[in-house]
Amino acid sequence: MMDNAHDHIDNPEFQADMLETLDETVGKMKGLIARLKNIKETKQMKFVPCDLSEVVLRGVKDAGSPEMLVVKDRVPVCIDATEIEKVVHNLLLNAYDADANRDAIAVEVGRNGMAFFEVSDDGRGMSEDFIRNRLFRPFQSTKSHGFGIGLYQCRHIVEAHGGKIEVLSKEGEGSTFRVSLPLADSQLAFSS
């Protein structure tokens, strides 16, 4: 835009396009700042007992694909449901970007010592080097339109819950993201 401004600044169409581009850029920057600010404010989460399956289902529906969820049984947790729904939504958006075939994307909820949910795709996959050195770092993205803070934010949310997020991936074979969270007393979780 700056390179073209020297030659076209007097053109009303260029001026209008430049203002629109600047307005969009400012909006994106404000959104980025707000998202980064929210990462630091994870201490303000509201933990409530609930069923992880229901929370994940809401996150899946929010991402637009309720038919892909596989639930083995009810999974009691004490979490900030809104924040965990954001994690589900972000992992699904990443899976959609990695795999054009949405039918190959799967979400599973269960327990195995801990509560967990997984998002799997048959997409491009990632190298071990990328996973180890860049995947959860801010401002590292493989997407041309990405900010590179989605997974960084997801990891902070999950860790604030006493959980962990892991990834298994091979280039050309897809990826599976597993979010593990502490189980809660089922009497407490299912009575609310």
CA distance 184 to 75: 8
Low-confidence residues in the chain, pLDDT < 70: 28-43, 65-67, 69-70, 72, 99-100, 138-149, 186-192
Q: Is 178 helix (H, G, I), strand (E, B) or coil?
A: strand
pLDDT for res 125: 85
pLDDT score at 87: 93
**From residue 30, how far is each of 24, 71, 122 by CA, in Å?**
10, 37, 34
| Number of other residues whose CB lies within 10 A of the CB of residue 22 | 11
User: 160 and 45 in contact (C-beta within 8 Å)?
Assistant: yes
pLDDT for the residue numbered 144: 47
DSSP state of 136: T
User: Roughly what angle, to the nearest 10 degrees, separates helices 150-160 and 12-40?
Assistant: 20
CA-to-CA distance for 125 and 176, rounded, in angstroms? 9
Average pLDDT, the chain: 80
pLDDT of residue 148: 56
> Could you report the per-residue pLDDT of 81-115, keeping only the tens digit for each?
999 999 999 899 888 887 667 777 889 999 999 99
Give 165-180 pLDDT, tens digit per residue.
Answer: 999 998 888 899 999 9
Pairing of strands 69-71, 76-79: unpaired
Is 83:45 a contact under the CB 8 Å cutoff? yes
Cα 160 from Cα 14, distance rounded (Å) = 47
Quote the distance between the C-alpha of residue 36 and its chain's center: 14
